[in-house]
Structure 1
Amino acid sequence: MSFRKNFVGASIAAALLALLPASPALAGVVVAASGPSAKTYPVGRKIGPTDKIVLQAGDTLTVLDEKGTRVLRGAGSYTLATQTGADKSNTFALLTRQRSAQRMRTGAVRDSNTGPVTRPNLWYVDVRQAGPMCLADPTEVRLWRPATAGEQLYAIGVGPSQVASRASFGDGDMLTVWDLSQAPITDGAKYVIAGGDGKPNEITFRVLDPVPEDAEALAATLIEMGCNAQLDVLSSAMIASEE
């Protein structure tokens, strides 16, 4: 009797599951567009995997989906489902990994490339860039510079002449810790970073709560928050190479 009840129960559960609609594939999001069709496919537009994308001569459309960043160029009809590429989930996981500042050596990231250097983690604060900066965790903040040679001192203030804190990079270091005890960060907080022989840059912090767990949702959030520099880092790192 017990076996019969379990069997009937399992059969009913299976039948109910079969009636549920299948989970739709995640949509891609436009992260860059240029050319005649840019108005049709503005940054932030969602595109389903089987949606037809019609481009004209001179068009370039960059779409970020679950497979990575897709760059479509020139006249033609495209769908994301037919654009093959290597899985970029590991790249996304590394780029968005959150690690404790106390467990992070400031010299752990080295400039070993001969080409342009970009921050290896989306949540590092680039000392060169102004504008909105999205954070996953405002209690673990690190400044990043794109070089390792020489010592550099930066002033962090609430205005051009109101210094709240200082941050020092040692020779060989690309990372240093932001002193939250002197310059606390909340959603909407604004700070000016000056030093390193560069112009002062004002940053407005946006704290993400919750933090999107997939690339296309995070891209859409970065667009909504105006964190365009981080969007560029994300889309560049997620470029899908052909399989």
Structure 2
Amino acid sequence: MSFPDFRMRRMGLTAAAAIIAVAVVGTAAAQSMVVRSTGPSASKYPTGAKLKSGDKLTLVAGDKVVLMQAGKTRTLSGPGTFGASGTIQASQSMSGTVTRMLAKGPTMRSRGGFSRDAVIAPPTELRAPNLWLLDYREGGTFCVADPATLMLWRPNMEGDTALEIESAGKKATVALVDGANFRKWPLDILPVQNGADYRLSGAGLAAPVTVRFARMDAIPDTVEGSIDMLMAKGCSSQLNRLVDTMSEAEAG
């Protein structure tokens, strides 16, 4: 084989490899995952289901399915038939709110210079601004990123209140004071035990809630990784918090 023929053949193989690589990447990017499913057809499209690019979803009235594709979301509402993959507008890129939600440590500050031991207060929000803050109104399994820095959170910073926490015969009282959203989990009395139940009451709760901790080996660095981990461990309240934040970014 002459040198020109060899060079042409090599260029052809390189081009073919590039085309295959693009095709593989495109296929992976086109795959979608159901991250929320409500309505009559929820059992057909359960949370966590993986969909190929050519799949179709047939929804009836009352159905709402949120799909994640390439770290962004698409919300489908019935009735209608929809493709599993679709064009995501540039405005649907991950917002600063989503970035803060996934951060390994929330940004906290005090109001008006307010400062007390283990108490830090950010602006008032209706939803905890970070996945790793424990909103004590929400029961169920909670994924713990770092037990040593676990913080309790409430949606306002008005008034003094006390949260009672009980587990395995031990009890701790956590004071949330006026001007603060946050308070550290009482590790000295109630260490964070994987799979243990903790009963929370008081502090404005209409009824006691039970929280069970699921320890993580590492915090995912991506939206996809976070959603996969939250699903696998059954941390539904945190999953809903993240999906809600992503859906708001989509709508914006």
TM-score, normalising length: structure 2: 0.76
Q: Counterpart in 2 of 1:108? A: 121
RMSD over aligned CA atoms reads 3.1
Distance (whole Å) between structure 2 residues aligned to residue 75 and residue 83 of structure 1: 21
Q: Counterpart in 1 of 2:199? A: 192
8 Å contact from structure 2 (residues 200, 210) kept in 1? yes
Find the partner of 1:158 among 167, 181, 189: 167
Distance (whole Å) between structure 2 residues aligned to residue 26 and residue 76 of structure 1: 21
Find the partner of 1:140 among 143, 149, 164: 149
Once the two structures are TM-superposed, the CA of residue 60 in structure 1 deviates from its matched residue by 1.6
Q: Deviations over 1:215-239 (max 9, x none)?
A: 2332232223221111111111011
Q: Is the alpha carbon distance of 1:108 and 1:68 closer, same or farther for their aligned partners in structure 2, counting shifts above 3 Å? A: farther
The one-letter amino acid of 2:159's match is G
Q: Is the alpha carbon distance of 1:227 and 1:100 closer, same or farther for their aligned partners in structure 2, counting shifts above 3 Å? A: closer
Q: Counterpart in 2 of 1:81? A: 86
Q: Counterpart in 2 of 1:4? A: none
2:102 maps to 1:96: yes
Q: Counterpart in 2 of 1:180? A: 187
Superposed, which structure 2 residues align to 1:193-232 within 5 Å? 193-198=200-205, 199-232=207-240
Q: Which runs of 4+ in 1 moved over 6 A?
A: 14-17
Once the two structures are TM-superposed, the CA of residue 197 in structure 1 deviates from its matched residue by 3.8
Distance (whole Å) between structure 1 residues aligned to residue 173 and residue 144 of structure 2: 20
Find the partner of 1:237 among 240, 245, 251: 245
Once the two structures are TM-superposed, the CA of residue 51 in structure 1 deviates from its matched residue by 3.5
Distance (whole Å) between structure 1 residues aligned to residue 31 and residue 220 of structure 2: 14
Q: Is the alpha carbon distance of 1:65 and 1:216 closer, same or farther for their aligned partners in structure 2, counting shifts above 3 Å? A: farther
Structure 1 stretch 189-198 or stretch 203-212: which is displaced more? 189-198
Q: Is the alpha carbon distance of 1:98 and 1:129 closer, same or farther for their aligned partners in structure 2, counting shifts above 3 Å? A: same
Find the partner of 1:42 among 43, 46, 50: 46
Q: Deviations over 1:131-169 (max 9, x none)?
A: 11111222210000111111112222215x631x33221
Once the two structures are TM-superposed, the CA of residue 57 in structure 1 deviates from its matched residue by 3.9
Q: Counterpart in 2 of 1:68? A: 72
Q: Deviations over 1:200-222 (max 9, x none)?
A: 22210001223332223322322
The one-letter amino acid of 2:72's match is G
Once the two structures are TM-superposed, the CA of residue 174 in structure 1 deviates from its matched residue by 0.5
Structure 1 stretch 227-236 or stretch 44-53: which is displaced more? 44-53
Structure 1 stretch 165-174 or stretch 60-69: which is displaced more? 60-69
Distance (whole Å) between structure 1 residues aligned to residue 31 and residue 146 of structure 2: 26
Question: Which residues of structure 1 form unaligned runs of 5+?
Answer: 1-10
2:138 maps to 1:129: yes
Q: Deviations over 1:172-210 (max 9, x none)?
A: 101111122222113213222222142322210001223
Q: Deviations over 1:22-66 (max 9, x none)?
A: 332174322322334322211221224554333334422122333
TM-score, normalising length: structure 1: 0.78
Residue 139 of structure 1: SS of its match in structure 2? helix
Question: Which residues of structure 2 form unaligned runs of 5+?
Answer: 1-10, 111-118
Find the partner of 2:175 among 165, 168, 175: 168
Once the two structures are TM-superposed, the CA of residue 67 in structure 1 deviates from its matched residue by 4.3
Distance (whole Å) between structure 2 residues aligned to residue 92 and residue 100 of structure 1: 12
